[in-house]
Chains A and B, each alone.
Chain A
């Protein structure tokens, strides 16, 4: 079945460490997204990519980095510069040019900084 796979589901990190969250899709979607979810704050856009080798900052990109070397993959690195990284991270993908950005989401990765 087509879908989005995020890994790991749970991740613990010590302060000062970088960590990379994986996101893979087999939907043949051109666009991919990373959102951060915190209680009471909804989903906030970190980065999105409309095509391979190109990506744009979202509303809260500071302390994060991404790459888009393959259409299927859009990993997110949470760097030590992110001051409050504990959150639930959601990856999504969509078609482009279809006139309506219907997002398909992965199951999420929960990052806890110890």
Chain B
């Protein structure tokens, strides 16, 4: 079985501050990991993915995430928050070559001017 845990359903940061959204995973096999972003009343779009290549993954809009096997973590970071980053962010896990993708509960990011 696979699962992800997102710590903090709401995170607030000041504009220009570091963004850190936490995700820990559980998987019986080395997983594929993803971060998606959702703007209000829209579908989700992919920010970045980890597929067992480089452990530091860069995505769109200046976001990146680091896969740490020893900590079973895949935290999402961005050095400097922008107002347009305000959205809900979802971490997801999938075993290799299995179509089932499991999502976390999401973290709503608020950016304060």
Contact = CB atoms under 8 A, between A and B. Distances in A.
A58 interface: yes
A31 interface: yes
> B interface, how many residues as a size bin?
20 to 34
Given A101-B32, A101-B94, A108-B41, A45 B46 contact: no
A114 B91 CA distance: 32
B90 interface: yes
B43 interface: yes
A8 to B, nearest CB: 14
A45 B101 contact: yes
Contacts, number: 65
Contact of A58 (B6, B51, B96, B100): B100
Most chain A CB atoms below 10 A, which of B6, B42, B104: B42
Interface of A: 4, 31, 33, 35, 40-45, 48, 50, 56, 58, 90, 92, 94, 96-97, 99-103, 105-108, 110
Given A90-B43, A100-B49, 11 more contacts: A4-B43, A31-B99, A43-B44, A43-B106, A45-B101, A48-B99, A90-B44, A92-B44, A99-B32, A103-B44, A105-B44
Interface of B: 6, 9, 32, 34, 36, 41-46, 49, 51, 90, 94, 96-106
